[in-house]
């Protein structure tokens, strides 16, 4: 909250997704690939099977080019982007788990050195020594996952850490073991779908058997992933589960994501069994792409669900995604955000400029102006108010209400909203009144967000907070003085589309 803000038009969240999504896919491939390649080469040596040997060899080249280059750079990239868009948040994580990351680094060193040696020594050293390197690579890669998963799951379910702030209480949190199982399954899945491309180059007479071999790995990966996912869901606290099982309209997308995740996994299994086990002759580059996309969709959907479920926190019940600590809410409300951050205080003192800096500090970790989660798009506009009031043709008003109003006005039905609004003739006759009404709605929302801070501040900090019970379950509270809330409102009012401007 007291760092300068990077003015990124596309939004920090989207940039993080662009860096993190490819990274997690590649990183899980690196782990699963370690297992599959080591097992495949071991089998090749035992059975004296050149086709399996070539599969392991070709896959190791992909592993080097994709994993040690792109995987390593994008892994650092996640830190780089996190430091740029949520410095306070990543700082809190690092200060809590620096030794966790240090442990992971040791395994990372082993993983990278083993990968480079493994690739470089094909045909140059004995089979036994080469297998040893391959298995050491897998140990390094898998242990990286085992360690880093403790930190990732801690963020969603810190468990007893909230009470004790003890390293291992947070590490071995309620979702740690199920998530480790789930990610193991995902790693096998990712490795399989990548290795199918390498398997396509197998000579015709052995291609079907090699593809079937990968098909059984894929089926195993799906089963482990499904078991891990169900277990993960089963141990989630009710307060978190309510977010994607609840009926709140604003959170419908999370429930939809959950269905998407499970369907994507089912499609992965069906396509995989069909093209790899039952009819391997159907496996072409195009069908392999379909299989990979289905697996990526499952994985991406799960990550979206996990991240979405954690909102509005970075560390659940402790630190919000904009870097605000739950424990700082009352202090900042009393002293003001400009007293907290020199970067907010610095610059023009007029209310709109001041409000803009508050927006950047408190809101821009999630909201852009016009891009991803664009704030301008969620401002009530003249056209939307008119459309709801007119409801012409019948039904159109309710659609606009559901799309544009219901997220914030969950307490009102469409009919109740129409009763509150002036008639279409009155709206057309006095556009200024509607603008004032919209400004009032924005101010009321900010006031509601500020009031929500009191609920967070009063919550038991030793337990996970039930965000589903909050008025805005996916947003951090507004913090600052009433005057600062007013200045934020004045800035946001400049973004409200007026008649003719929408």
Partner 1 sequence: MNPNLIPAVDPAGLPGPAWLFHILLVFTFFLHMLFMNLTLGGTLLAAFAHLRSGGRRDDFRGALAGRLMAVNNFGISLTITTGVAPLLFIQVIYHQYFYTATILLASIWFATLILLTVGYYAAYLYKFRGAPTRGQGGGLWLGVSALMFFVIAMIHVAVNLVSSQPEKWGSLADGGWNVLGDPTFWPRLFHFVLAGIAFAALVAVWWAVRRAGAGVDVEINTEIARYAWRWALWSTVLQVADGFLLLMVLPKPVLKGLMSGGLATLGPLTLAIFIGIGLLMMLARASNPVENPGLVTGTLGAMTLTIAIMSITRHQVRALYLEPATSQHHFQVVSQWGNFLLFVVLLVAGLATVAYMVRRVLTSPATGEDAA
**With binding defined as CB under 8 A, does residue 9 bind partner 1?**
no
Shorter beta-carbon distance to partner 1: residue 167 or 226 = 167
Torsion of CA 190, 192, 198, 202, to 10 degrees: -170
Asked if 473 contacts 250 with a C-beta cutoff of 8 angstroms, the reply is: yes
Q: Which of residues 142-171 bind partner 1 (CB under 8 A)?
A: 167
Shorter beta-carbon distance to partner 1: residue 2 or 426 = 2
Tokens coding 362: 């408190």
d(CA 321, CA 84): 13
- Residue 322, helix vs strand vs coil: coil
Of 125-133, 149-157, 231-239, 395-403, the segment contacting partner 1 by CB under 8 A is 125-133
Q: C-beta of 105: minimal distance to partner 1 in Å?
A: 5
Q: Which of 265, 264, 275 is nearest to 197 (CA)?
A: 275
**With binding defined as CB under 8 A, does residue 121 bind partner 1?**
yes
Q: C-beta of 26: minimal distance to partner 1 in Å?
A: 12
Asked if 2 contacts 88 with a C-beta cutoff of 8 angstroms, the reply is: yes
Q: Which of 179, 151, 8 is nearest to 79 (CA)?
A: 151
**With binding defined as CB under 8 A, does residue 19 bind partner 1?**
yes
Among 122, 216, 226, 263, binds partner 1 (CB under 8 A): 122
Q: Which of 43, 113, 16, 92 is nearest to 318 (CA)?
A: 92
Q: Do strands 319-320 and 313-315 pair parallel, antiparallel, or not at all (unpaired)? A: antiparallel
Q: Which of residues 360-419 bind partner 1 (CB under 8 A)?
A: none
Of 114-122, 405-413, 461-469, 482-490, the segment contacting partner 1 by CB under 8 A is 114-122
The DSSP-derived string for 382-445 is HHHHHHHHH--STTHHHHHIIIIITTT-TT--HHHHHHHSPPHHHHHH-HHHHHHHHHHHHHHH
Shorter beta-carbon distance to partner 1: residue 163 or 425 = 163
Shorter beta-carbon distance to partner 1: residue 227 or 325 = 325
Q: C-beta of 380: minimal distance to partner 1 in Å?
A: 32
**For partner 1, what does the binding mask look like between residues 433 and 472, x meaning CB under 8 A?**
----------------------------------------
**For partner 1, what does the binding mask look like between residues 69 and 108, x meaning CB under 8 A?**
xx-xxxxxx-xxx-xx--xx-xxx-xxx-xxxxxx-xxxx
**With binding defined as CB under 8 A, does residue 6 bind partner 1?**
yes
**With binding defined as CB under 8 A, does residue 295 bind partner 1?**
no
Q: Please tell me the number of Cα atoms within 13 Å of 403 on its side-chain side.
A: 12
Q: C-beta of 283: minimal distance to partner 1 in Å?
A: 25
Of 132-140, 192-200, 253-261, 473-481, the segment contacting partner 1 by CB under 8 A is 132-140
Tokens coding 287: 């069908």
Q: C-beta of 152: minimal distance to partner 1 in Å?
A: 16
Q: How many residues of this chain interact with partner 1, rule: CB under 8 A?
A: 76
d(CA 127, CA 138): 17
Tokens 């390649």, residue? Answer: 37
Q: Which of 432, 410, 411, 433 is nearest to 421 (CA)?
A: 433
Q: Which of residues 312-371 bind partner 1 (CB under 8 A)?
A: 325, 327, 338-346
**With binding defined as CB under 8 A, does residue 31 bind partner 1?**
no
Shorter beta-carbon distance to partner 1: residue 99 or 247 = 99
**With binding defined as CB under 8 A, does residue 46 bind partner 1?**
no
């Amino acid at each position: 909250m007291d760092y300068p803000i990077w003015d990124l038009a596309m939004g920090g969240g989207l940039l993080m997704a662009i860096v993190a999504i490819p990274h997690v896919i590649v990183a899980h491939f690196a782990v699963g690939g370690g297992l599959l390649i080591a097992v495949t080469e071991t089998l090749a040596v035992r059975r004296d099977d050149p086709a399996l040997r070539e599969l392991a060899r070709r896959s190791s080249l992909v592993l080097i080019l994709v994993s040690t280059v792109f995987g390593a750079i994008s892994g650092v990239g996640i830190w780089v982007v996190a430091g740029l868009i949520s410095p306070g948040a990543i700082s809190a994580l690092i200060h809590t788990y620096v030794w966790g990351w240090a442990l992971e680094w040791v395994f990372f060193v082993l993983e990278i050195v083993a990968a480079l040696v493994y690739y470089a020594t094909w045909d140059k050293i004995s089979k036994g020594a080469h297998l040893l390197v391959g298995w050491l690579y897998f140990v390094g890669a898998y242990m990286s996952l085992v360690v880093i998963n403790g930190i990732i799951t801690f963020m969603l379910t810190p468990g007893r850490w909230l009470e004790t702030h003890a390293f291992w209480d947070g590490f071995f949190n309620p979702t740690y073991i199920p998530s480790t199982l789930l990610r193991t399954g995902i790693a096998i899945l990712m490795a399989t779908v990548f290795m199918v491309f390498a398997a396509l180059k197998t000579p015709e007479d052995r291609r079907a058997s090699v593809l079937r071999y990968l098909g059984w790995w894929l089926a195993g990966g799906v089963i482990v992933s499904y078991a891990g996912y169900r277990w993960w869901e089963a141990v989630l606290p009710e307060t978190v589960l309510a977010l994607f099982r609840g009926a709140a309209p604003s959170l419908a997308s999370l429930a939809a994501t959950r269905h998407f995740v499970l369907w994507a996994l089912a499609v992965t299994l069906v396509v995989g069994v069909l093209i790899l086990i039952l009819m391997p002759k159907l496996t072409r580059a195009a069908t392999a792409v379909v299989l990979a996309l289905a697996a990526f969709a499952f994985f991406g959907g799960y990550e979206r669900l996990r991240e979405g479920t954690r909102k509005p926190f970075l560390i659940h019940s402790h630190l919000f995604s904009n870097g605000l600590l739950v424990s700082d809410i009352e202090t900042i409300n009393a002293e003001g955000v400009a007293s907290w951050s020199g970067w907010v205080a610095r610059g023009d003192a007029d209310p709109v400029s001041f409000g803009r800096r508050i927006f950047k500090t408190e809101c821009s970790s999630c909201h852009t102006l016009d891009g991803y989660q664009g704030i301008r798009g969620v401002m009530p506009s003249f056209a939307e108010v008119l459309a709801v009031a007119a409801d012409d043709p019948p039904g159109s008003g309710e659609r606009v209400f559901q799309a544009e109003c219901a997220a914030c006005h969950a307490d009102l039905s469409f009919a109740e909203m129409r009763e509150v609004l002036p008639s279409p003739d009155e709206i057309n006759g006095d556009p200024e009144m509607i603008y004032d009404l919209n400004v009032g709605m924005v101010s009321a929302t900010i006031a509601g967000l500020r009031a929500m801070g009191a609920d967070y501040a009063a919550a038991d900090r030793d337990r996970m907070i039930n965000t589903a019970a909050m008025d805005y379950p996916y947003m951090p509270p507004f913090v600052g003085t009433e005057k600062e809330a007013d200045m934020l409102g004045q800035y946001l009012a400049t973004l409200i589309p007026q008649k003719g401007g929408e």
